[in-house]
Amino acid sequence: MWAFNFLLLSAALFSIGVFGVIARRNAVMVLMSIELILNSVNLNLIAFALMNNSIDGHVFALFVIAVAAAEVGVGLAMVLMIYRNRRSISLDELSEMKG
Amino acid sequence: MTLASLFAQADGGVNVAQNVGFYIIAAGMLWAAFRVVSTKNVVHAALWLVVVLGGIAAQYILAAAEFVAISQVLVYIGAVMVLFLFGIMLTRATIGADTDVFNKGWAVGIPVALLVFGVLAYVTIDFTEDSLLVDPTEEQIAATTTAISDGYLGPYLVPLIAVSFVLLAAAIGAIVLARKD
């Protein structure tokens, strides 16, 4: 198996996630795109662990999974609070902090 | 004699079955990821995300990372997707397809994504050239989980405790943010 297979796949997933973060209007969909990005990074870590015959990549991937779970919990709580206050989670309407 | 052992090492060190599995799963994952960022229905986006996360778990197994694959299935497909579906159900105003799911300037995302992919692909191919991944031996695969636990209870003990505090703080913070006063 070519060494760049996993890395190219995760680069493609990362780019699709970046597009989703930029283009999506719904805050929940933006969180889903962030999940795509975090998963592509995890795939990279596992591929590096395989390339270097080392276990550290697995350990780091599990750390990233734990932090991503925390991030989704806090992110969705924030989305819920915004929805409760404004009856909308469209990100382009949140402009109170605009300078 | 299974099909996998028939194909294994048929092409001078390149594991054909592994490659075939990789490309089939990768194609499905890329299509599902494209649907996640392009579908107009929020629930469908969440369900396509399940396909991507499952494909990533399958790629972990191909990369001899079974423990991470099981963790991926438990945490992402089990817990995070339930959170997402709850978030959608608690916030969604419209049932079915939404009318405007994209920002006004959504087209900017296409050149940005293509540029990011171009740079990453160039660097990746330039860095790895045509080196091949070495298949891990049976002993290495069997000892993977032991090695992970040795890592967590050895050099990575302090980060592990720190991550447990991060999870605790995130859980308390989510409750504080989301509860009704």
CATH of the domain at A14: 1.10.287.3510
Domain range holding B8?
Answer: 3-97+104-138
Check whether residue B108 and residue B163 sit in a common domain: no
Nearest CB to B173; choose among A7, A8, A74: A74
pLDDT of B156 higher than 70: yes
Torsion region of B64: left, alpha or beta (phi above 0 gives left; psi -120 to 50 gives alpha): left
Check whether residue B108 and residue B49 sit in a common domain: yes
pLDDT category of residue B19 using cuts at 50, 70 and 90: confident
Check whether residue B8 and residue B65 sit in a common domain: yes
Check whether residue B80 and residue B55 sit in a common domain: yes
Q: Is residue A97 domain-resident?
A: no
Check whether residue B78 and residue B156 sit in a common domain: no
In Å, how far is B1's CA from the nearest CA of chain A? 22
Q: Is residue A70 domain-resident?
A: yes
Q: Is residue A77 domain-resident?
A: yes
Check whether residue B45 and residue B21 sit in a common domain: yes
Percent of chain B with pLDDT over 70: 89
Q: Do A65 and B113 touch (CB under 8 A)?
A: no
Check whether residue B130 and residue B49 sit in a common domain: yes
Distance CA B29, CA B17 (A): 18
pLDDT in tens, B59-86: 999 888 899 999 999 999 999 999 999 8
pLDDT category of residue B140 using cuts at 50, 70 and 90: confident
- In this predicted model, which residue has the larger pLDDT, A71 or A95? A71
Q: Which chain B residue shows the shortest CA-CA distance from A29? A: B42
Amino acid identity of residue A7, one-letter, is: L
Residue B105's pLDDT is 82
Distance CA A90, CA B102 (A): 10
DSSP A2: B
Note the ipTM here: 0.91
CATH of the domain at B25: 1.20.120.1200
Nearest CB to A67; choose among B113, B128, B163: B163
- Nearest partner of A8 among B54, B21, B119, B58, judged by Cα: B119
Q: Which chain B residue shows the shortest CA-CA distance from A59? A: B148
pLDDT of B21 higher than 80: yes
Distance CA A22, CA A25 (A): 9
Task: Choose the weakest-confidence range: B29-38, B88-97, B133-142, B155-164.
Answer: B88-97
Check whether residue B91 and residue B180 sit in a common domain: no
pLDDT category of residue B33 using cuts at 50, 70 and 90: very high
Distance CA A9, CA B114 (A): 14
Q: Is residue A99 domain-resident?
A: no
Q: Is residue A74 domain-resident?
A: yes
pLDDT in tens, A66-76: 999 999 999 99
In Å, how far is A34's CA from the nearest CA of chain B? 11
pLDDT of B1 higher than 70: no
Q: Is residue A98 domain-resident?
A: no
Check whether residue B15 and residue B68 sit in a common domain: yes
Enumerate residues 6+ apart whose C-beta is below 8 A from A48: A54, A57
Check whether residue B40 and residue B80 sit in a common domain: yes
Contact (CB, 8 A) for A8 and B118: no
pLDDT in tens, A16-61: 999 999 998 888 899 999 999 999 999 999 999 988 888 899 999 9
Nearest CB to A19; choose among B22, B37, B90: B37
Q: Do A3 and B59 touch (CB under 8 A)?
A: no
pLDDT of B26 higher than 70: yes
Residue B94's pLDDT is 62
Contact (CB, 8 A) for A10 and B121: no
Check whether residue B114 and residue B83 sit in a common domain: yes
Residue B129's pLDDT is 78
Q: Is residue A45 domain-resident?
A: yes
Q: What is the torsion angle, in degrees rounded to the nearest 10, for the CA atoms of residue B144, residue B80, residue B36 and residue A80?
A: -150
- Nearest partner of A46 among B170, B155, B97, B62, judged by Cα: B62
Nearest CB to B18; choose among A1, A31, A33: A1
Domain range holding A9?
Answer: 4-90
* Number of separate domains in chain A: 1
Q: What angle do CA B155, A11, B132 make, to 5 degrees?
A: 70
Torsion region of B96: left, alpha or beta (phi above 0 gives left; psi -120 to 50 gives alpha): left
Distance CA A70, CA A38 (A): 13
Amino acid identity of residue B178, one-letter, is: A
Which ranges in chain B belong to alpha helices (H)? 3-7, 16-38, 42-62, 66-72, 81-91, 109-128, 138-142, 144-153, 157-178
The residue among B39, B59, B144 with the most chain A CBs within 10 A of its CB, best to mutate, is: B59
* Number of separate domains in chain B: 2
